[in-house]
């Protein structure tokens, strides 16, 4: 199931990155988040924080696609309203947003 989410994100993230970059510049924002709504029933039931972290890890290591270049965080929202937020730790996004590192999900 994680691979399906990863593949679906790859289909759309290149366009989202361009939109995020343009919006951030226009609105003078210093932080960009890619939000991904998971409206598949089975995925929402079975995937947990560890599963979504695996997807983010694949996106971070996907150097050919450069999937997360210019994206400061990935925010997953499941069909049932569960939320999972993963922030770029190398840019101290936690500090900028005043979010304790242990309170993300």
42-94 pLDDT tens trace: 666 678 888 888 888 888 886 665 677 788 888 899 888 888 888 876 666 66
Does the pLDDT at position 104 exceed 80? no
pLDDT confidence bin for 23, thresholds 50/70/90: very high
pTM: 0.75
Q: What is the pLDDT of residue 31?
A: 84
Q: Which helix (H) or strand (E) holds 99?
A: none
Q: What is the pLDDT of residue 2?
A: 79
How many degrees, rounded to 5, is the angle at CA 80 between CA 71 and CA 20? Answer: 20
């Amino acid at each position: 199931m994680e691979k399906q989410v990863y593949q679906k994100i790859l289909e759309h993230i290149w366009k989202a990155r361009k939109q995020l970059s343009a919006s951030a510049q226009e609105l003078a924002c210093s932080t960009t988040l890619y939000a991904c709504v998971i409206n598949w029933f089975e995925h929402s039931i079975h995937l947990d924080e560890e599963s979504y972290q695996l997807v983010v890890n694949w996106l971070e290591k996907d150097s050919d696609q450069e999937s997360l270049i210019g994206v400061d965080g990935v925010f997953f929202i499941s069909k049932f309203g569960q939320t999972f937020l993963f922030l770029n730790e190398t840019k101290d996004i936690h500090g900028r947003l005043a979010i304790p590192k242990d309170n993300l999900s």
